A = this chain, B = another copy of it.
Amino acid sequence: MSIDVSDIPALARGCAVLGTGGGGDVRTGSLAAVRAIREYGPVPLVNLADLPDDALVVPLSGIGAPTVSHEMIHSEDEPRRVAEEVERIFGRPPSAVMSSEIGGSNGVIPVAWAAQLGLPLLDADGMGRAFPEVQMVSMYVAGLPADLVIMSDVQGNVVTIRPVDGLWSERLARAVCVAAGSSALMADYVLTAAGARGAVIEGTVTYALEVGRATEGVPDPLGALQGRLGAARLVTGKLTDVERRTTGGFVRGTATVEGTGDDRGRTLTLELQNENLVAIEDGRPLAMVPDLITVVDTETAAAIQTEGLRYGQRVTVLAWPCDPLWRTPKGLETAGPRAFGYELDYVPVEELTAHV
């Protein structure tokens, strides 16, 4: 199977839903993907099983604050410089590109990077969603040493980090990103196909395409999306308050939805750190990270990203279970509510919403 121009709108819609508000604006990624496919041709989608054990897989993502990166012009030279550095370090060129995070623009734009490099895209990612920090990837949870990060910025600088652990990886990569203008292309963990088995979340590109297609031409897009995701509907209402600030490469803030219709009288507050992390009603959480929480347009079921939240929008908040990897002790330690500074014990969204 290959990803062609005609697949990009569905992929972008699906990635926006899986982005839980973050991962960058999908319009940027879509534009880049369409342009690159037009120039270099469709991008083959491969499975891990298709690759020889020693094939190098390069997980790529854009790092930066969404409010900055969706206005930055990405250069074609950035993936080339990362691939050159991979070859310099490993003595052989990469065999495939992988999305580090399938959520948001970072799930779509690797199609462009793969096209530009003439490489296939691996049908997998490192999150099954979007997360704001560098160490919040399946490879880290699977226990792979976070021993190599390669960054390339629009100016042409290439920075290679050999961190002692995932937290230093995050701290140093973030500092480089801010110094580079709050936006950079990053390869985190260059993997062999053998090493990737069990350490990446497989099938997520295909899944994002399916999620994106679920709402195409159906009479009830919201119902279709909810069904495809197996999501709980936390509230349907109106955005009445959005507070955001960008600091140190991050967007932080809150969004408040006041219920309408059947939900009149209810108020849901979302805590944001690039992504939607916790949904709270009357002081009680209804869903929390690492489960997925996405704000969608009630009529079209199109996901609204953090930077697109506006007063008065008619929205529905959906929440559904994350990949089981994130519910392991190491997964929760890495990306559970306490990893983001919330004094909450993780409770799965199915339990929290059983009686909603």
Contacts and interface: CB of A to CB of B under 8 A. Distances in A.
Interface stretch (A54-62, A153-161, A344-352): A153-161
A88 to B, nearest CB: 8
A162 B157 contact: yes
A5 interface: no
B172 A180 contact: yes
Contact of A159 (B88, B89, B159): B159
A250 to B, nearest CB: 15
A182 to B, nearest CB: 12
A340 interface: no
Given A172-B176, A175-B175, A175-B178, A162 B159 contact: yes
**Interface centre among A155, A159, A175, by most B CB within 10 Å?**
A159
A171 interface: yes
B156 A172 contact: no
A195 interface: no
Copies of this chain present: 2
A163 interface: yes
A100 B112 CA distance: 42
A74 interface: no
Contacts of A172: 157, 159, 176, 179-180
Given A174-B179, A176-B172, A176-B176, A159 B160 contact: yes
A339 interface: no
A164 interface: yes
Contacts of A168: 155, 157
B160 A160 contact: yes
A156 B164 contact: yes
A10 to B, nearest CB: 38
A174 B158 CA distance: 15
A328 B179 CA distance: 30
Contacts of A160: 159-162
11 contacts: A155-B164, A157-B161, A157-B172, A158-B162, A159-B162, A159-B172, A159-B176, A172-B179, A175-B175, A175-B176, A175-B178
The 5 closest A-B pairs by CB, nearest first: A175-B179, A160-B160, A156-B164, A158-B162, A175-B175
